[in-house]
């Protein structure tokens, strides 16, 4: 790869009319209608500052993330906003210096302004690699601790699984910062990789992350987003099932409290034949101003014969004043598939479940607790890391206790 790959790049020639830049640097006011036609560029000037009217920003409180729209050096330097705990993964770190370093940009293409700025301002990447045929006995844990809400930072992280490797990588986010983050994931032939991104930020943190993954022949990616903390957290995973027999499992868990905005825009592209996709995001919300956003886009391309894909989003609204936006979309460009579908549901407690539990002598508060735990447990139990699963159950209990004390 050479430095020339940093020049503005657009989506394939199937771009929609109006997806080319204006001379003023902004994309055309004619909206891109489908997820597959969204333009990309490494140059921040090709993206106008979001106004909240754009299709990919209209559900986001742009006034709360405006600090991530500034394409300028940060006062303290991008590397000082976040403290990276990588000692435990040192054996798997690969040097990645400069924008033209090997692997960087092999698949990743910025799709919005914060992502393009993060690419430009972060000269070096944090690159984790699983060796060919390696099987990890324990997860690789990376701690990312914000050093203060007044600090602004950018990052590019690469997670690469070489052929036939097996392992789990966990990104733990805590503290506070104004943080734009790119995560590039490459799962090579026959590998099985799990990437878990856990957001337990302080209440004043702002985190905008673009996760882009490519899954090659007979490889599997399990990608899990867990968002419990932060003022505004926007983690958008995009997964391309490129090789024959590739599999993508995309799961998400969120618990939005008063004033929190937790968002995920999910894109699953079935590109190769005989690929399989499973998308399930679940969220709970409580408190005034709690807001969650899930947008799920699935594209089954013209060469993706034999595809089997399903996506779903379920939300449980626990109090008045909370809001969940849920938008599934499905594009199919071939008729030769095994199956495809999507579903979305948002509601309050199931009165029948509560009645069933109370009829057996369980108090109402305890019955509500059991319903919430049962609702979210499906995602927690998919994580496959016992210590993290236990941590999340404790966090759910703490959220429920907080609401009960109000």
Q: What is the pLDDT of residues 226-243, one digit of tens each?
A: 999 999 999 999 999 999
How many C-beta neighbours within 10 Å does residue 137 have?
6
Cα 255 to Cα 386: distance, rounded to the nearest angstrom: 20
| Structure confidence at residue 30 (pLDDT) | 53
Mean pLDDT over 72-100 rounds to: 85
Chain centroid to CA 187: how far? 17
For the entire predicted model, the pTM comes to 0.90
Give kind and range of the element (H or E) at residue 116.
helix 113-121
Please, what is the average pLDDT of the chain? Answer: 89
| Structure confidence at residue 146 (pLDDT) | 97
* pLDDT at position 98 over 60: yes
How many C-beta neighbours within 10 Å does residue 343 have?
13
| Structure confidence at residue 129 (pLDDT) | 98
* pLDDT at position 24 over 50: no
359's CB contacts (< 8 A; 6+ apart) are: none
Mean pLDDT over 246-251 rounds to: 98
356's CB contacts (< 8 A; 6+ apart) are: none
Mean pLDDT over 251-279 rounds to: 97
| Structure confidence at residue 4 (pLDDT) | 34
Q: Pick the closest to residue 153 from 184, 185, 121 (CA basis).
A: 121
Give me the percent of the chain exceeding a pLDDT of 90: 79
* pLDDT at position 386 over 50: yes
Cα 40 to Cα 38: distance, rounded to the nearest angstrom: 7
DSSP alpha helix (H) spans, 223-363: 351-358
Residue whose tokens read 């878990």: 196
Give the residue with greater pLDDT, 222 vs 4.
222
- At 33, is the pLDDT very low, low, confident or very high (cuts 50, 70, 90)? low
Least confident of 66-80, 158-172, 229-243, 376-390: 66-80
Phi, psi of 392 (to 5 degrees): -75, -35
309, burial (CB in 10 Å: exposed 0-12, middle 13-18, buried 19+): buried
* pLDDT at position 279 over 80: yes
Cα 178 to Cα 272: distance, rounded to the nearest angstrom: 37
Give the residue with greater pLDDT, 356 vs 131.
131
- At 13, is the pLDDT very low, low, confident or very high (cuts 50, 70, 90)? very low
* Helix/strand number for the chain, H first, E second: 4, 16
Mean pLDDT over 73-81 rounds to: 65
Least confident of 6-10, 45-49, 89-93, 269-273: 6-10
Phi, psi of 62 (to 5 degrees): -60, -30
Could you give the maximum distance between any two Cα atoms of the chain, in Å?
69
Query: Would you say 61 and 261 are in contact if contact means Cβ atoms under 8 Å apart?
Result: yes
Give me the percent of the chain exceeding a pLDDT of 70: 89
| Structure confidence at residue 156 (pLDDT) | 97
- At 14, is the pLDDT very low, low, confident or very high (cuts 50, 70, 90)? very low
Q: Is 60 helix (H, G, I), strand (E, B) or coil?
A: coil
Query: Would you say 120 and 105 are in contact if contact means Cβ atoms under 8 Å apart?
Result: no
| Structure confidence at residue 75 (pLDDT) | 56
| Structure confidence at residue 11 (pLDDT) | 40
Give kind and range of the element (H or E) at residue 389.
helix 386-404
């Amino acid at each position: 790869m050479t430095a020339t790959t940093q020049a503005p790049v657009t989506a394939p020639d199937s771009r929609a009319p109006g997806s080319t830049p204006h001379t003023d640097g902004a994309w055309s006011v004619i909206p891109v209608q489908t997820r597959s036609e969204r333009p990309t560029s490494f140059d921040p000037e090709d993206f106008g500052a979001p106004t909240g009217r754009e299709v990919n920003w209209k559900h986001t409180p742009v006034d709360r993330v405006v600090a991530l729209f500034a394409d300028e050096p940060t006062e303290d330097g991008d590397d000082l906003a976040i403290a990276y705990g990588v000692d435990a993964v040192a054996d798997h770190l690969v040097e990645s210096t400069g924008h033209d370093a090997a692997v960087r940009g092999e698949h990743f293409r910025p799709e919005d302004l914060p992502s393009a700025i993060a690419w430009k301002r972060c000269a070096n990447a944090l690159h984790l690699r699983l060796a060919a045929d390696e099987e990890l006995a324990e997860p690789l844990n990376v701690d990312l601790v914000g050093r203060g809400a007044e600090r602004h930072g950018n990052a590019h992280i690469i997670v690469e699984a070489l052929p036939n490797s097996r392992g789990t990588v966990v990104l733990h986010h805590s503290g506070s910062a104004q943080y734009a983050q790119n995560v590039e994931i490459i799962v090579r032939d026959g590998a099985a990789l799990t990437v878990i991104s856990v957001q337990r930020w302080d209440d004043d943190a702002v985190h905008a992350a673009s996760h882009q993954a490519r899954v090659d022949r007979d490889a599997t990616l399990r990608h899990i987003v867990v968002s419990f903390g932060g003022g505004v957290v926007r983690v958008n995973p995009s997964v391309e099932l490129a090789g024959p027999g590739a599999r993508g499992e995309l799961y998400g868990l969120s618990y939005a409290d008063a004033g929190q905005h937790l968002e995920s825009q999910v894109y699953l592209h079935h590109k190769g034949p005989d690929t399989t996709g499973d998308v399930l995001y679940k969220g709970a919300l409580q408190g005034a101003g709690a807001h969650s956003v899930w947008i799920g886009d699935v594209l089954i391309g013209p060469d993706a014969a034999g595809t089997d894909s399903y996506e779903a989003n379920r939300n449980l609204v626990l109090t008045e004043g909370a809001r969940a936006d849920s938008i599934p979309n499905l594009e199919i460009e071939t008729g030769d598939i095994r199956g495809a579908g999507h579903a979305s549901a948002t509601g309050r407690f199931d009165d029948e479940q509560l009645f069933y539990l109370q009829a057996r002598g369980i108090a109402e508060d305890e019955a509500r607790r059991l319903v919430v735990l049962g609702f979210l447990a499906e995602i927690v139990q998919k994580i496959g890391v016992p210590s993290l699963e236990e941590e999340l159950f404790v966090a759910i209990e703490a959220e429920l206790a907080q609401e009960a004390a109000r």
